[in-house]
Structure formats: structure tokens, C-alpha cells
Structure 1
């Protein structure tokens, strides 16, 4: 929720969301503008699904009331039969997508209800929609857990850990994660580094580097690839939403960013 301080002007907040997995946003009041990658932010629908991203999402939020639901790859497989690649690096109007129509009851959530009632309505619907595991859930979870391993630095190593050929891994990664395995590995190492800075902006970038990086120049190339700006420019910008969110997520979930969350293995 973005609300102006009493007596202050209703200035919009601007921030840059790092690459993530899937996210559903419910705009109950006000307007939210966003863009993925290059381009000016545009108004988003009242119920918008953002697929997995490999570029920063710039967003502008005037006073508004929204809910966000982060969805990991195994959750997407339970929620939809569509390939993750179909939604990669784009935002989708849920009301206009026949494959997501089962989410449209969320539109009925009322701003007039209490925050707890709104939360409970979201939880109730998702508990129903996510009740049944997908056929490939065990494979998806193991692949995501392998990506989280800092020692897994190459496609060949990832394929070996998952007992797949590199060609099979390529198809699998696109289908369940939205991107080729090499890009996923780069994204993981970058976000491990960025997470350190988000938790402690006083750190020098060289202190945050993941062990997969050879040098700071390689990290800078990744930073520009994923965030659309260099690390110095990013550090100079205010991060009123993501800075607070990283600390809250770390306290509640143990990781500062969604992509670093470790999925639980399915019950045997």
C-alpha cells in the first residue's frame, strides 16, 4: 500500500524491481504504472500477471492500494498448464487471458473490507487452485534447488546434477522457468550479489560479488544486462519500496529476493 504522509503532497513513488519469478498484482485502488526492460511505465490492469523476468521492472506508484502474490515455478505449474516461456518478460491482463480466468474472482476483493479479510480471500482462492501438485513437481523443485547452489556454475554441471542431457535441460528450463539454463545461472549469481547490497547499501560492490564472478567487470556486465543501468547509477537512486521489502523478506522468509527462496521438496 502506498499512502501519502499526512499534510504532504501525493508524490508518486518510483523504484526498480529486480528480475523475479511470477508475480500476480491486484490493484484495488489507484493506478500503478510499470514496464519491463526499456520503455516508459504504462498503466497496468487491475489484475495483472507478470511472468518470470530477466530485466528490471520500473514501476511508478502514486497513492494506491495493491496486493502482490509471488509465485515460484512449482506454483506456476500447479496454477497453469502454459509454458513459462509464454509469459517471460511480459505483463498479462488476467481478465483478457483465457488460461488465467480461474484467477478472476480476485477482482471481487473489496477495498472496503479489512486488510485481514482481503488477505483471507486471496489465501482461500489460492489454497483451492494450488491444492493439486503438477506431474513434474519433483523435477521442477529439484531443478530450482540446483540453481540455488552457488557451486553450480555451468550448464553442464546443472545437467549432470539433474541427470539430463543439455538439450533436454534447455527445453525443460524454457518450459518451467521461462529462460535458457545459461541465463538462469547468470541471473542467480547476479541476484545473490544484489541481495547483499539491498540488505546493506553501505557495502562496496566488490564486497558483494558472488564467487562465480571472475572480476568486477563481469559483474558490471551482468548488472547492465539485468537492470538496464550500471551499479553506480543504481546505488545513487532511491529505493523506497525494494529496500524495505528486501529487509522484510529476509526477516520473514530468510532471503532478500524471491529468486533465492528455496522451495520445499514434495512429500514422498
Structure 2
């Protein structure tokens, strides 16, 4: 399962006084999230508003998802590009930067049995819930994934911090540039250029979130020409300035990133390396 997923992760959150909290999910790979208790009110990039549903599906994203939620339990399933190729059944570019209620979406119908089976009888049973998730994907993991070797080669090149251009990415993957473009569109959701830009941004953001004492200037990735370029990327990916983001509380993501770093070796899903990952599940 490891090459297909970032993590299977469970989050348990208690908001005092029946209140809610608001936070922002960073750009990431595709995710299916299942809720027991409070249900989220979410939107991606100011559109694709979803509220009051027991499951949400996010395609590969290059924009932040704002969400507000109260006390809840949530299981999250992060699909890597190879996992998208194995389980999604349609080009990733068709679901890029989309946030959906998966239940009425025809393209996501294969996930309905999973959504309906994870939580049973309203009781929290983490081990049993995880077992049902694993059983669902194990039953569907049959046959070979077309383009498997190329997807993995492109992904490995994308994760390399020294790679800063599409030409370098293609060279490291040992593939023609036009093949890299095709693989990225179908299985990663975006062009190689945008994916590299997202990686550069997420390396910077994760550095800051793990150690705010660095300040933004100390966290900016070396591929940025100057701070102004980073600020432009921040507006592009998060929909706000670095100053505005830093001024907001991050009651969910701050804890999740620390837990992901400890459990999976990467604080954010976009930087997740399946070859270096730790455990396959983490509790926050």
C-alpha cells in the first residue's frame, strides 16, 4: 500500500463549549476525508463550497481549502499520484483544484462503500476503522498500474530539492519532456512547471510552520530569486499574504504538521516520499 498513499490518518478534535475552529489546508495530493461528529464547512480557493456532509473529496490541489469545524473525529486518506492511477479511474487534471461531496459524484461512486462502512454504530474504534479502510483498498488492488515505472520516476524527480526546472526534472526521470508533461497531467493533476512551483512553495511553508522562529526570510527555499517572488507564490497558493497567514491561528494544521513530520517524515503531503515514509497511520 505504501506507494499509493501518503497516510491513513485519524484526527480527534474537541472544541470546548460546542464552538468551532477555522484553518486552511495547504495545497496537497488528492484526499478523501470521512467525518464522525461535527461536519465541516469548506471551500477551495473561495469556490466549490461544501458544507454539512459526512465526507469530502479533494482532487490534487494548488490552492488552499478553508474549513470551519467543531468537535469531530475524522479519517483522512491521501492518494499519491500512483494511488490516483490505481484507484481514481479518471485523469487527475479533471479533478485538479476541486472540492466535492463524493456521494452524488458519479466519478467517485467506487468510494461509496468505503464511506458508508468506516464508521459503524456511532462508536469510536480506531483499529477496526483502519482495518476496514485497509480491507477496502486491498480488495481493489488488483492488476498492474499502467505507466507505474514512469509515474514513480517522475514523482522521485519532483521530490528532489535540487530540481528547479522541467528540463532537469525530465533528465532525472530519464524521460522526454513531452512524456513528463503527459504523465503529470494525467496522474499528478498539473503541469510539471506548476508542480515544481508548488514544491518550492511547500518546502518554504513547511519550514516556517515547523519552526516559526526562522521568520519567513529564513524559511524561503533556495530556488526563490527574492522575497517578492515568494510573496507572489503565497498569494497564488494560499490566497493571502504571508503576513496575513502568520497572523491567523492554526489550531488544526499546526498539530497535524508536527504529527505528520514525526510519523511520516514530511510535514505536508506534497513533500511526502513513499520510499522514506514511516508508519502508514498517525493519530493527532
- Give the TM-score taking structure 2 as reference length: 0.86
Give me the whole-angstrom Cα distance separating, in 2, the residues matched to 1:123 and 1:164.
Answer: 33
Deviates more, 1:247-256 or 1:45-54: 45-54
**Runs of at least 4 residues of structure 1 off by over 3 A?**
39-42, 130-133
Shift of residue 63 of structure 1? 2.0
Give me the whole-angstrom Cα distance separating, in 2, the residues matched to 1:131 and 1:14.
Answer: 39
Q: Which runs of 5+ in 1 are unaligned?
A: none
Which structure's relative contact order is higher, taking Cα pairs within 8 Å and 6+ residues apart?
2
Shift of residue 125 of structure 1? 1.1
Indicate yes or no: 2:141 matched with 1:130. yes
Indicate yes or no: 2:187 matched with 1:176. yes
Deviates more, 1:163-172 or 1:135-144: 163-172
For residues 211-260 of structure 1, what are the alpha-carbon distances to aligned partners after superposition, in whole Å with 9 as ceiling and x for unaligned?
11111111111111100011111111101111011110010111111111
For residues 45-91 of structure 1, what are the alpha-carbon distances to aligned partners after superposition, in whole Å with 9 as ceiling and x for unaligned?
32322100000110111222221111111111111221001110002
**Compared with structure 1, are the counterparts of its residues 39 and 97 closer, same or farther at alpha carbon in structure 2 (3 Å cutoff)?**
closer
Instruction: State the partner residue of 1:228.
Output: 239
Instruction: State the partner residue of 1:75.
Output: 83
CA RMSD of aligned residues (A): 1.8
The question of whether the paired residues in 1 share the 8 Å contact of 2:50 and 2:101 is answered with no
Q: 2:45 aligns with which of 34, 37, 46?
A: 37
**Compared with structure 1, are the counterparts of its residues 40 and 166 closer, same or farther at alpha carbon in structure 2 (3 Å cutoff)?**
closer
Bigger proportion of residues as strand: 2
Q: Which runs of 5+ in 2 are unaligned?
A: 1-11, 277-284
Instruction: State the partner residue of 1:213.
Output: 224
Indicate yes or no: 2:212 matched with 1:201. yes
Give me the whole-angstrom Cα distance separating, in 2, the residues matched to 1:79 and 1:41.
Answer: 25
The question of whether the paired residues in 1 share the 8 Å contact of 2:156 and 2:173 is answered with no
Q: Secondary structure at the match of 1:19?
A: coil
Instruction: State the partner residue of 2:56.
Output: 48
Q: Secondary structure at the match of 2:112?
A: helix
Give me the whole-angstrom Cα distance separating, in 2, the residues matched to 1:40 and 1:126.
Answer: 27
Q: 1:161 aligns with which of 158, 162, 172?
A: 172
Instruction: State the partner residue of 1:190.
Output: 201
